C-alpha cells in the first residue's frame, strides 16, 4: 500500500487538539513545590500486546509499519499481518525456552523485522534490550557492547544484517548465543534466518504466556548513553510504557481523532523513538513510516525523499533535524506543500530548540496553510518511558516543556540557584538492571526519582502555563566572580550566534574569569562561507580560513552586544579538528554532546583557551 491510500485528515472544525490542563500545586515547608495533574489514569492496558490485538481486531488491513525496500517502494505490514507474525515469532522464542531471565539483545537499525521481534518477545514476557548500533559499528574497542552483553547474558541476539555486526559479535564472544538475522550469514557458525521464525505455527502456549504478562512485567532494558561511565540498564515495565501512552492520549486529543502518521528515524534503542513514538503509533492505530535517513549530511537526503513521498500528520524530531530540514524546506515549495498537507502538530524534544528555528517553521506554515501549525514539546527521560510533562496548550516560543501529564507529578526541589525536577507516577522505573546501588541513589527519601534536570515556572502565578526547561543542575558553573553561568540557556545562544559555522558547542569557564567555547564545526556551513576554496578542501583548511574565523568573531560580537553581564559573554573560542568520540562518551548516537565528558577529554584544549598569550588557532572575540 502506498502513502496516498491512507485515510484523509478529519476536518479541522471536527478535530480537537488538546485537553485543557487541570493543574494544582502545593508549596511544602522544605521549599519544594509539588505540581500534578488532577486528571487520573483510570484504565491502563496490561501490556502493549493488548494494543496490538485491539487494532488487529478493529482495523486488520490498516498499515502499521512501512519501510523502504532496496528497490525503492514501500513495504508495509498491516495490523493483522503484524499480529500473526508476532504470534509466530513468540512461539519460536518459547520453543527456545526463553523467559524473563534470558533477555533478547538487539543490534539493528529500525525496521519492520526489528519491530516485530520486539513486540513478539514482549508479548510472551521476554525482555528486549535494543542496543545502540554505534557501540557495535562506530566503536573502536567495543568496550560498552562487551559490558552490556556481560550484564544482560542474553538468550538470543537479533541483527538485521550480519555483515554490519560480524566484528562486534566476534568481539563479545557471541559464538555461544543464537543469532537471528534478517539478512546474511556468519563465517564458521550457524545463523537462524528471521523468516524461519515466521513459519512456526503458534500453539496455546503463546496465549497462556501472553495472559501471564502484566503491568509489572519487564518489557525492555534500555541503556543510558553512558555519559559518566558504562551505560546503565533502565528497567522499563509494561505499566510504564502503557501509562505514558494513556496520559498522552488524554492530553493530546488529536491523536485519537486522527490516528497519527509518522515519518520517523529516531532510533529504537532510545526512549524517544522506541517508546514515545513507536508506542504512540501502536496506541492510536496509526502508521509509522520508518525513515532510513538521519540528520547528517550523508543521509539526510533520504529523509527528505521520504517526506516528499509521505505527508505526516504528526512530525516529531530533534532540533538538529529541524535545522537540516529547514535548509531544504525554505527553498522548495513542493516539499512545503507535501510536508504541511495534513500536519496536525510539530513536536521537538531531547535538546533545546533555538527560537530562530521556531520562527522559520512558523513562517512557512503560515504561508502554506494560512495558520501556524502548533509546535509542542515534552520532557522526560529513559527512566520514565519517557514523558512526564507535556505541552497541551498553545505556546509562543521554545523552552516550555508543559505540565505534568495525567497521572504524573513532579516535585521542584531547590538546588543552589535552580529547582531540580523529581518525579512520581506509574511511568517511573523500578530501578536499574542488576544495579541495586544505582537504584538506591536514584530515589530520594520520599521515593521521588531524582533527574538532575531543572525547571522554572513560565508564569509563577499560573502553574497551568507550564514549566520552562532550565538546564541541568550539575552542568552550570560559577565564574571566579561568583556569577552563575546557565549552560542550558547559553549553549543554544552560542550555536545561533555562530551560524553557519557551529554544529554544536561546549561552554567553558568554571572558576575562570571569562566564558569561552569549544566549537564543533558544521563542515557544510563552512564550505558555504568559502566558495573560493576547492569543494573538497580539508577540514584544517576550512578552519583556518579568514572567512570562517571572521564569521565567528562577528557573530559573537553581535551576541555579546545583545546581552548584559558576564554570564552570557563569550570571550574566546576554539574550533575542534577531531569529532567527538563515542568511546569516550563525548557524544550519544543521536548526536548530542556530553558537556562533562568533552571537557574532561579535551582539558588541554580548554587550557589553550585561557592561556595569557593565545595560540593562533584560538579565536579572540574581545
The per-residue pLDDT for range 188-202, each reduced to its tens digit, is 999 999 999 999 999
Of 346, 429, 442, 335, the residue nearest 394 (C-alpha): 346
Q: What is the pLDDT of residues 237-275, one digit of tens each?
A: 999 999 999 999 999 999 999 999 999 999 999 999 999
Alpha-carbon torsion 444, 447, 453, 454, what sign?
Answer: negative
Which whole number is the average pLDDT over 59-77?
97
What CATH code is assigned to 73-213?
3.40.50.980
Residue appearing with cell numbers 541476539? 157
φ, ψ for residue 518, nearest 5 deg: -95, 125
CA-to-CA dists, residue 110 to 203, 460, 563, angstroms: 29, 42, 43
**C-alpha span between 89 and 221 (Å, rounded):** 20
Q: What pTM does this model have?
A: 0.86
- Report yes or no: 509 and 499 within 8 Å, Cβ to Cβ: no
Whole-number pLDDT of residue 3: 34
Whole-number pLDDT of residue 297: 86
Whole-number pLDDT of residue 226: 57
Give the contacts of 382 (CB within 8 A, at least 6 positions apart). Answer: 222, 224, 234, 236, 270, 271, 429
Residue 356 pLDDT > 90, yes or no? no
Whole-number pLDDT of residue 9: 40
Q: How many percent of the chain have pLDDT more than 90? A: 85
Q: Whole-angstrom distance between the N-terminal and C-terminal Cα of the chain?
A: 59
Q: What is the DSSP string of 3-56?
A: GGGSPPPPPGGG----PPP-EEEEE-TTS-EEEEES-------S-HHHHHHHHH
> Residue 209: enclosing H or E segment and its boundaries?
helix 204-212
Instruction: Please report which confidence band the pLDDT of residue 474 belongs to, taking 50, 70 and 90 as the band edges.
Output: confident
Which whole number is the average pLDDT over 64-92?
98
Mean per-residue pLDDT of the chain: 94
Whole-number pLDDT of residue 2: 34
Which whole number is the average pLDDT over 338-352?
93
Q: What is the DSSP string of 559-599?
A: HHHT--SGGG-EEEEEE-SSPPPTTTTSB-TTS-B-HHHHH
**C-alpha span between 352 and 341 (Å, rounded):** 27
Q: What is the pLDDT of residues 418-468, one digit of tens each?
A: 899 999 999 999 999 999 999 999 999 999 999 999 999 999 999 999 999
Residue appearing with cell numbers 545463523? 191
Mean pLDDT is highest, among 1-5, 246-250, 318-322, for 246-250
Task: Kindly list the domain boundaries of the chain, sorted by start residue.
Answer: 73-213, 477-620
Residue 1 pLDDT > 50, yes or no? no
Whole-number pLDDT of residue 417: 79
Q: How many percent of the chain have pLDDT more than 70? A: 97
Instruction: Please report which confidence band the pLDDT of residue 127 belongs to, taking 50, 70 and 90 as the band edges.
Output: very high
Residue 228 pLDDT > 80, yes or no? no
Q: What are the residue ranges of helices labelled H in 234-370?
A: 238-251, 254-257, 271, 278-283, 300-309, 319-329, 333-340, 355-369
Give the contacts of 318 (CB within 8 A, at least 6 positions apart). Answer: 266, 272, 295, 348, 349, 350, 351, 590, 591
Alpha-carbon torsion 395, 398, 399, 401, what sign?
Answer: positive
Cα Rg of the chain, angstroms: 24
- Report yes or no: 512 and 490 within 8 Å, Cβ to Cβ: no
Residue 600 pLDDT > 60, yes or no? yes
> Residue 495: enclosing H or E segment and its boundaries?
helix 487-497
Instruction: Please report which confidence band the pLDDT of residue 351 belongs to, taking 50, 70 and 90 as the band edges.
Output: confident
Whole-number pLDDT of residue 589: 65
Residue appearing with cell numbers 514515545? 276
Q: Is 305 exposed, middle or buried (0-12, 13-18, 19+ CB in 10 A)?
A: middle
Q: What is the pLDDT of residues 106-123, one digit of tens each?
A: 999 999 999 999 999 999
Whole-number pLDDT of residue 138: 86
Under DSSP, the state recorded for 186 is B
Amino acid at each position: 500500500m502506498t502513502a496516498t491510500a491512507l485515510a484523509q485528515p478529519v476536518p479541522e472544525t471536527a478535530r480537537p487538539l488538546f485537553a485543557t490542563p487541570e493543574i494544582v500545586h502545593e508549596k511544602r515547608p522544605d521549599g519544594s513545590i509539588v505540581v500534578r495533574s488532577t486528571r487520573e489514569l483510570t484504565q491502563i492496558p496490561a501490556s502493549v500486546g493488548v494494543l496490538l490485538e485491539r487494532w488487529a481486531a478493529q482495523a486488520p488491513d490498516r498499515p502499521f509499519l512501512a519501510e523502504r525496500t532496496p528497490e525503492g517502494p514501500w513495504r508495509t505490514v498491516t495490523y493483522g499481518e503484524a499480529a500473526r507474525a508476532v504470534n509466530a515469532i513468540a512461539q519460536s522464542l518459547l520453543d527456545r525456552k526463553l523467559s524473563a531471565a534470558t533477555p533478547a539483545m538487539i543490534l539493528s537499525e529500525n525496521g519492520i523485522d526489528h519491530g516485530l521481534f520486539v513486540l513478539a518477545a514482549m508479548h510472551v514476557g521476554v525482555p528486549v534490550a535494543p542496543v545502540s548500533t554505534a557501540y557495535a559499528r562506530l566503536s573502536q574497542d567495543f568496550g560498552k557492547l562487551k559490558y552490556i552483553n556481560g550484564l544482560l547474558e542474553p538468550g538470543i541476539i537479533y541483527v538485521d544484517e550480519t555483515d554490519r555486526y560480524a566484528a562486534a559479535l566476534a568481539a563479545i564472544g557471541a559464538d555461544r548465543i543464537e543469532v537471528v538475522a534478517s539478512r546474511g550469514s556468519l563465517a564458521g557458525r550457524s545463523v537462524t534466518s528471521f523468516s524461519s521464525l515466521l513459519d512456526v505455527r503458534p500453539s496455546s502456549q503463546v496465549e497462556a504466556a501472553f495472559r501471564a504478562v502484566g503491568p509489572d512485567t519487564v518489557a525492555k532494558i534500555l541503556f543510558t548513553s553512558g555519559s559518566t561511565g558504562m551505560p546503565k540498564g533502565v528497567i522499563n515495565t509494561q505499566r510504564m510504557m502503557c501509562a505514558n501512552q494513556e496520559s498522552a492520549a488524554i492530553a493530546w486529543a488529536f491523536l485519537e481523532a486522527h490516528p497519527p502518521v509518522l515519518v520517523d528515524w529516531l532510533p529504537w534503542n532510545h526512549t524517544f523513538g522506541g517508546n514515545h513514538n513507536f508506542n504512540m503509533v501502536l496506541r492510536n492505530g496509526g502508521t509509522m513510516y520508518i525513515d532510513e535517513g538521519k540528520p547528517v549530511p550523508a543521509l539526510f537526503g533520504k529523509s527528505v525523499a521520504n517526506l516528499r513521498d509521505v505527508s505526516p500528520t504528526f512530525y516529531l524530531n530533534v532540533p538538529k533535524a529541524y535545522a537540516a530540514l529547514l535548509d531544504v524546506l525554505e527553498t522548495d515549495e513542493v516539499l512545503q506543500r507535501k510536508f504541511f498537507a495534513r500536519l496536525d502538530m510539530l513536536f521537538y524534544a531531547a535538546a533545546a530548540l533555538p527560537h530562530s528555528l521556531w520562527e522559520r517553521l512558523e513562517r512557512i506554515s503560515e504561508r502554506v496553510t494560512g495558520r501556524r501549525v502548533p509546535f509542542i514539546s515534552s520532557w522526560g527521560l529513559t527512566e520514565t518511558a519517557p514523558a512526564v510533562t507535556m505541552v497541551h496548550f498553545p505556546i509562543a516560543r521554545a523552552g516550555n516543556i508543559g505540565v505534568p501529564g495525567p497521572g504524573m507529578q513532579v516535585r521542584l526541589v531547590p538546588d543552589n540557584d535552580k529547582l531540580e525536577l523529581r518525579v512520581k507516577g506509574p511511568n517511573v522505573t523500578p530501578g536499574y538492571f542488576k544495579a541495586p546501588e544505582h537504584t538506591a541513589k536514584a530515589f530520594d527519601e520520599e521515593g521521588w526519582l531524582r533527574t538532575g534536570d531543572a525547571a522554572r515556572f513560565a508564569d509563577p502565578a499560573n502553574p497551568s502555563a507550564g514549566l520552562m526547561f532550565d538546564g541541568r543542575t550539575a552542568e552550570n558553573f560559577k565564574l571566579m566572580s561568583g556569577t552563575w553561568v546557565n549552560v542550558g540557556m547559553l549553549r543554544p545562544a552560542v550555536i545561533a550566534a555562530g551560524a553557519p559555522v557551529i554544529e554544536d558547542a561546549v561552554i567553558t569557564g568554571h572558576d575562570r574569569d571569562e566564558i569561552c567555547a569549544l566549537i564543533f564545526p558544521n563542515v557544510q556551513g563552512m564550505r558555504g562561507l568559502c566558495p573560493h576554496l576547492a569543494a573538497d578542501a580539508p577540514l584544517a583548511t576550512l578552519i583556518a580560513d579568514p572567512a570562517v574565523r571572521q564569521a565567528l568573531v562577528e557573530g559573537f560580537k553581535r551576541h555579546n552586544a545583545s546581552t548584559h553581564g558576564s554570564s552570557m559573554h563569550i570571550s574566546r573560542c576554539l574550533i575542534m579538528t577531531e569529532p567527538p568520540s563515542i568511546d569516550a562518551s563525548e557524544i550519544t548516537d543521536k548526536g548530542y554532546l556530553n558537556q562533562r565528558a568533552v571537557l574532561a577529554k579535551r582539558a588541554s584544549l580548554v587550557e589553550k583557551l585561557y592561556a595569557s598569550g593565545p595560540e593562533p588557532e584560538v579565536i579572540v572575540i574581545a
